[in-house]
Structure formats: structure tokens, C-alpha cells
Amino acid sequence: MDKLTRSGRTQQDKMSQLQADVVDAERRAHQTRLTFDDLGKGMRAELERFEREKVEDFRASVETYLESSVEAQKEVSGFDNVLLRMTVADLPIVDRDMGNISDVLGR
């Protein structure tokens, strides 16, 4: 009988320890879930920031490209006007003796 009492007590101790282990495991699982959720929120916030900055950078690049295209077009338009006003006499001529080009200003 003493043996049965001791084995029953041992089984009860094991059961209590297992229940405590289950409670501890559930607590750790809950804490891990909270940590995971916090990390997920942080990652989503970082991805949203990245996407926003990517769009802003792209927009700035397109604006810079368009501004330089407009400036280049203005320069080309200015050259077109100069070319339209030029006559055949204004065109550079080839100096056949020297093998170079002399321009309108006689350089």
C-alpha cells in the first residue's frame, strides 16, 4: 500500500509538473505571437516607406529628365533659328589649301 501511495504521489507530481510546463509553453507561445505581430507591423511600415520613397524618387527622376529635355529642345530651337537666318555666304567653307574649316568670323 505504501508503494501505491508513493507511486500515486509521483504520478501526481509528474502531472503537476506537466501542467506547469503546458502553462509555460502557452505563455511563451503567446509572447512569441506578440513579437511576431510586432515584427510584421514594423516590416509593413518599412515596405510602405520604401514604396513611397521609390515613387518619389521616380517622380523626381522623370521631372529632371523632362526639364533637361525641355532645355535641350530650347537649345535646338535656338540653333534652328540661327540656321534659318544663315545664308549660303554664312556657311563655313573648306580651305582646300590648308585642309581646315574657316567660319564666318574668319578664324
Summarize pLDDT for 81-99 with one digit per residue, the tens. 666 666 655 555 545 555 4
- Grid-cell match 563655313, residue found: 92
Q: For the chain, what is the mean pLDDT?
A: 79
pLDDT at 107: 46
pLDDT at position 12: 84
Helix or strand holding residue 51 (H, E): helix 2-85
- Which CA distances in Å does 29 have to 22, 26, 48, 87? 10, 5, 28, 88
Taking the mean position of all CA atoms in its chain, how far away is CA 65?
A: 19
- Which residues of the chain fall below pLDDT 70? 1-9, 79-107
pTM, two decimals, is 0.48
Q: Which of 96, 82, 95, 97 is nearest to 106 (CA)?
A: 95
- pLDDT at residue 63 in the model: 94
